[in-house]
Amino acid sequence: MKNILVTGGAGFIGSHVVRRLVRQYPQYQIINLDALTYAGNLENLSDIQDATNYTFVKGNICDASHLDEIFSQYQIDAVVHLAAESHVDRSITDPLAFVQTNVIGTASLLNAAKKYWNGNYTDKRFYHVSTDEVYGSLGETGFFYENTAYDPRSPYSASKAGSDHLVRAFYHTYKMPVVISNCSNNYGPNHFPEKLIPLSINNILQKKPLPVYGKGENVRDWLYVLDHAHAIDVILHKGVTGETYNIGGHNEWKNIDLIRLLCKLMDEKLGQAPGTSEQLITFVTDRAGHDLRYAIDASKLKDELGWLPSVTFEQGLSQTIDWFLENKEWLDHVTSGDYQAYYEKQYANNH
Ligand code: NAD
Ligand code: TYD
């Protein structure tokens, strides 16, 4: 594999994947295709933007003729597909944007790869990065396995489920050499502050309320983003064609417990009296159709490909907070402009 097209490489997870591939594999050319939506930010990649094995292309994965040009101009051998609309709350207000990018965009990308590879699949790979949310919502016990039936319940997870089905359909119908991973909630540096952890870090810094949906009883399984990027690297190189791999941290937290831990760490790092940040916790109207619990069984990835997370949650969270404290300019840039309008609308009824 020499020329790798990464889609969505200017986003949160994509930027860590691009950085890892650019640094670990100088013999590869990494082409980053990103539409630079509100979630895409080239500042995430400022440290590698001049690397000789890196190229940025601004474009939309729904644009079929642009995709054709990119595949032939860069002679693409492998695709690592991360571009997506990724925020559940936005999918509740604007579901069609999710169908457009996640379903139509993925179908367009698959179709462009099929046309360009034209049945010659030697040393080719189409890697689709997906989410555990396609499996639906768990009760208080149990885990998601690779063969758990799909049961998506938000427009976001339904559109990602649709994209997963299309990828498998191209494998079965056209023998496209695909591999899929479904990962749990990520956190870490460069996380856009519409998601729970970076939103709460930002609000603690701004001394603004910390909006906890419902009673804060919902459970998520959190994985440090650099560990996800490592897993993607392992699966890209060693994953078996046609297979699916679950990725997760065995790290379940109730939202309210997570926020309390975050408050404690923030108080320590900001030199504030214990309990200061917790006073900002505000219970707000629950998310519509809020999935109760996600929990991944990642033993296939561990047993077959030898991947394990490298940091504990306390270490990862501490490093994440440090990154946000050291990158206030990044935070200022991404929270100016459109972000304020989004925030006012999303949390309007609660503050
Ligand atoms: P993100 O929202 O931070 O980034 C998405 C990127 O895709 C942005 O750079 C954006 O500009 C780009 N993009 C959006 N629409 C596009 C289009 N039509 N054409 C080209 N580029 C477009 O997302 P993320 O959190 O980094 O997630 C990346 C992928 O990983 C997604 O496919 C998501 O479903 C999946 N995933 C995310 C998580 C998580 O916790 N964030 C967990 C599991 C899986
Ligand atoms: P989020 O970071 O949006 O990820 P996802 O919905 O993909 O799991 O939310 C994580 C959890 O935190 C989820 O249960 C919803 C909850 N949440 C809040 O309580 N308040 C908030 O302001 C946000 C954004 C999320």
- HEC string for 112-158: HHHHHHCCCCCCCEEEEEEEHHHHCCECCCCCECCCCCCCCCCHHHH
Provide the domain limits for residue 229. 3-191+222-251+293-312
| Ligand 1 in reach of 131 Cβ (< 6 A) | yes
Of 81, 80, 100, the C-alpha closest to 90 is 100
- In a domain, residue 346? The reply is no
pLDDT band at 162 (very low <50, low <70, confident <90, very high): very high
As a whole number, mean pLDDT of residues 182-204 equals 98
Q: Which long-range contacts (CB under 8 A, 24 or more apart) does 24-29 make?
A: 24/233, 25/53, 26/53, 27/2, 27/53, 28/1, 28/2, 28/3, 28/4, 28/53, 29/2, 29/3, 29/4, 29/53, 29/54, 29/55, 29/74
SS3 206: helix
pTM, whole model, 2 decimals? 0.98
Q: 106, 62 in Cβ contact below 8 A?
A: no
Domain assignment present for 44: yes
pLDDT (average), residues 179-196: 98
Q: Give percent of the chain with pLDDT exceeding 90.
A: 97
Residues with CB under 6 A from ligand 2: 88, 185, 195-196, 199, 211-213, 218, 220, 255, 287
Residue 203 lies inside a defined structural domain of this protein: no
Instruction: List Cβ neighbours of 68 (8 Å cut-off, separation of 6 or more).
Output: 112, 115, 116
Nearest CA to ligand 2 atom 10: 196
Domain count, the chain: 1
Q: Which of 15, 67, 86, 197 to mutate to test the pocket of ligand 1 (most atoms within 8 A of CB)?
A: 86
In-domain check, residue 322: no
Which residue out of 217, 220, 254 has the highest number of ligand 2 atoms within 8 Å of its CB and is therefore the one to mutate? 220
- Within-domain flag for 152: yes
Query: Which residues are annotated as catalytic?
Result: 132-133, 156
Is the pLDDT assigned to residue 240 strictly greater than 50?
Answer: yes
Residues constituting the chain: 351
CA of 33 to the centre of ligand 2 (A): 27
CB of residue 239 inside a 6 A radius of ligand 1: no
Could you tell which of 182, 255, 259 is best to mutate to test the pocket of ligand 2, judged by most ligand atoms within 8 Å of the CB?
Answer: 255
CA nearest to 311, candidates 243, 201, 224? 224
What is the per-residue pLDDT for 337? Answer: 82
Reading the block at residue 35, the tokens are: 């539409």
Q: 37: Cβ below 6 Å to ligand 1? A: yes
Average pLDDT over residues 264-292: 98
Indicate whether 99 pLDDT > 70: yes
The answer to whether residue 335 sits within a structural domain is no
Could you tell me the CATH number of the domain that includes residue 55?
3.40.50.720
Atom of ligand 1 nearest to the CA of 86: 2
Beta carbons within 8 Å of 261's beta carbon, 6+ residues apart: 253, 314, 317
Mean pLDDT of the chain: 97
Report the separation in Å between the CA atom of 48 and the middle of ligand 2, taken as the mean of its atom positions.
31
Query: How far apart are alpha carbons 218 and 207 in whole angstroms?
Result: 24
Q: Are 296 and 185 in contact (CB under 8 A)?
A: no
Ligand 1, atom 28, lies closest to the CA of: 82
Residue closest to 190 by CA, chosen among 228, 225, 220: 225
78-86 average pLDDT score: 99
**Angle at 302 (CA atoms; ends 229, 220), nearest 5 degrees:** 65
Separation CA 48–CA 277 (nearest Å) = 36
User: How many angstroms separate the first and last alpha carbons of the chain?
Assistant: 52
The answer to whether residue 178 scores a pLDDT higher than 50 is yes
| Ligand 1 atom at minimal distance to the Cα of residue 81 | 32
Asked if residue 272 belongs to a domain, the reply is no
Q: What is the reported pLDDT for 1?
A: 62
Ligand nearest to the CA of 334: 1
Tokens of 116: 């360009």
In the predicted structure, residue 7 carries a pLDDT above the cut 80: yes
Q: Is residue 197 part of a domain?
A: no
Pick 108 or 336 by higher pLDDT: 108
Ligand 1, atom 44, lies closest to the CA of 131
Going from the Cα of 254 to the center of ligand 2, the distance in angstroms, rounded, reads 11
CB 182 within 8 A of CB 246: yes
Angle formed by the axes of helices 155-174 and 106-117, to 10°? 20
* For ligand 2, atom 20: residue with the closest CA: 212
The conformation of residue 99, written as its DSSP 8-state character, comes to I
Answer yes or no: is pLDDT of 350 > 80: no
